[in-house]
Structure 1
Amino acid sequence: MSWNPFNRHSAKKKSVVSRTTEREFGREVKRVESLDETSKKLYKDTKRWLESNSALSNSEHKITQDLLTSPLCQTEPQLNAMVTEWDRAIEKQNLHSRELNNVVQKTMAEPVKRLNTIFPSIQAALKKREQSLQEYQKSQAKVEKHQNRERTGQNVVKLDLSRKAVERTKADFDCQNQALSEDLPKFVDGRIEYIQPCLESLIKSQVSYNSEALQIYSELADQWHTTTDLSELKSRHQQTLSDIKALAITVD
């Protein structure tokens, strides 16, 4: 919330509202501003997390696809079998990854986004209260001005009109001030009750996702152990590297 009703150049003017009242109200406004900043940051971080999770799945899948199309996999049946099993595991994991993103989007990103739509309304209400307070103070200043003038018939009429304007503007300000003074604390205090189910869902969905990932990759490790002689494959690769190092390049 970029607008702050308490950073006013007119602060030196005598206010119709006590300093204690304004100080307490300002404290609640700062709490709302802090919640606004935190909520916006939470939404941005959640969207960034969703994008990163999708990018991670795509990157891992690209690795296996690049390996499967490489000359090495095409000439090494054992390596090809291992990468194929890895690629299948990734496909399974990607299903859980997309499911996780859907859950996080519905139970975290969207609720926080809805929360963020409330702050512009609060900002508008604060501006309206400030405008009402300014009108109240102007009316009160006019009363004080006419009170100090000679009590002619015309000045008495002006004083009476000014007092009625004070009553009207005061009633308008008191109504807005009371509503905001009651609603702002309730709104801020309700943040925990609102966001807690979102966080619980986020944690539970991540636990489920990581449990599935552990199971998938544990099964993959078992498959690699039982279907592939890794020591033989390693020995063959070492021999290939040794042969490459032994090559002599001559220039005529």
Structure 2
Amino acid sequence: MSWIPFKIGQPKKQIVSKTVERDFEREYEKLQKLEDQTKKLHKDMKKSTEADLAMSKAAVKISADLLSNPLCEQDQAFLDSMTALDTAMKRMDSFNQEKVNQIQKTVIDPLKKYSGVFPSLNMAVKRREQALQDYKRLQAKVEKYEEKEKTGPIMVKLHQAREELRPVKEDFEVKNKQLLDEMPKFYHSRIDYFQPSFEALIRAQVVYFTEMYNIFSELTDQIDQAGLTDEQRERETEAKLSELRALSIVADD
């Protein structure tokens, strides 16, 4: 959305002060930014949970592929390690699904519901703008007759124009006051609305990563029998690879 002030003819009488218009535009612009940010956050949260699920599903697939590796048929130690890994990945996936479900209910759904309020707000602003245009048009009409010579027919038309203007003016003033009163309240309510959601998000993440720490600590105890460092494992792997490269079946022609 973008704020575009409506402009028609310029009546001599300033029916809405510049201060009021500035206040209105400032408050509405804040709500426009809030709407954009809410929609973006909703989109990013959905992408984040989708990526989380894809990650844990991929990890389960990898562990299943490793478990079906031919090495498991002839190496009991490797089979035991891969079985432990497969169990850990399935547990991780299960806890991840619980976390995503919790985030969906406590963060993503509330964001969507909050975004659903803005169309009504924007419609109220459009109705206010339409009322303002009607007010300006009829005010200009009254001023036109006020400038003319005060003959009988002109006075009749002036009276009719003023009668036509009165309810339109009142309608605009009601709509304008309501929005000026309620837009700041709506904007400030965002903190109370979203704070429980973000607290729930933090709790869900804390629970999940605590469980992940426990799962991978247990996994490390099960498979890290040799107690080698990453550097030692890297050197060991390079040594094994060098042995493979020395085989005649993989030698360069």
* TM-score normalised by L of structure 1: 0.90
Distance 1:20 1:134, change over 3 A: same
1:190 pairs with 2:189: yes
1:246 pairs with 2:239: no
Contact 1:54–1:97 (8 Å) recurs in 2: yes
Q: Percent identity?
A: 38
Please name the residue that 2:55 is paired with: 56
Please name the residue that 2:164 is paired with: 165
Please name the residue that 1:106 is paired with: 105
Contact 1:3–1:123 (8 Å) recurs in 2: no
Deviates more, 1:99-108 or 1:63-72: 63-72
- Give CA-to-partner distance per residue, 1:56-102, whole Å, 9 cap, x none: 10111111111112223333321121011011011112111111001
In structure 1, list runs of 5 or more residues that go unmatched.
none
Please name the residue that 1:77 is paired with: 76
Report deviation, 1:207: 0.3
Distance 1:147 1:11 in 2: 16
Deviates more, 1:75-84 or 1:208-217: 75-84
Distance 2:238 2:149 in 1: 109
1:140 pairs with 2:139: yes
Distance 2:252 2:239 in 1: 26
Contact 1:65–1:87 (8 Å) recurs in 2: yes
3-state SS in 1 of match to 2:148: coil
User: What's the C-alpha RMSD, in Å, of the aligned pairs?
Assistant: 2.3
Distance 2:38 2:241 in 1: 55
Report deviation, 1:229: 4.8
- Give CA-to-partner distance per residue, 1:24-81, whole Å, 9 cap, x none: 1111001101100110111011101110110110111111111112223333321121
Distance 1:89 1:11 in 2: 72
Distance 1:51 1:218 in 2: 26
Distance 1:50 1:90 in 2: 17
Contact 2:141–2:161 (8 Å) recurs in 1: yes
In structure 2, list runs of 5 or more residues that go unmatched.
none
- Give CA-to-partner distance per residue, 1:113-158, whole Å, 9 cap, x none: 0000011111101010000000001111001101111222221111
Report deviation, 1:11: 8.4
Contact 2:8–2:133 (8 Å) recurs in 1: no
Q: How many residues align?
A: 246
Please name the residue that 1:86 is paired with: 85
1:202 pairs with 2:208: no
Contact 1:60–1:90 (8 Å) recurs in 2: yes
3-state SS in 2 of match to 1:67: helix
Distance 1:251 1:213 in 2: 45
Please name the residue that 1:23 is paired with: 22
1:40-51, aligned counterparts within 5 Å? 40-51=39-50
Contact 2:11–2:136 (8 Å) recurs in 1: no
1:121 pairs with 2:112: no
3-state SS in 2 of match to 1:190: helix
Distance 1:149 1:122 in 2: 41
Contact 1:5–1:130 (8 Å) recurs in 2: no
Please name the residue that 1:37 is paired with: 36
Distance 1:12 1:146 in 2: 15
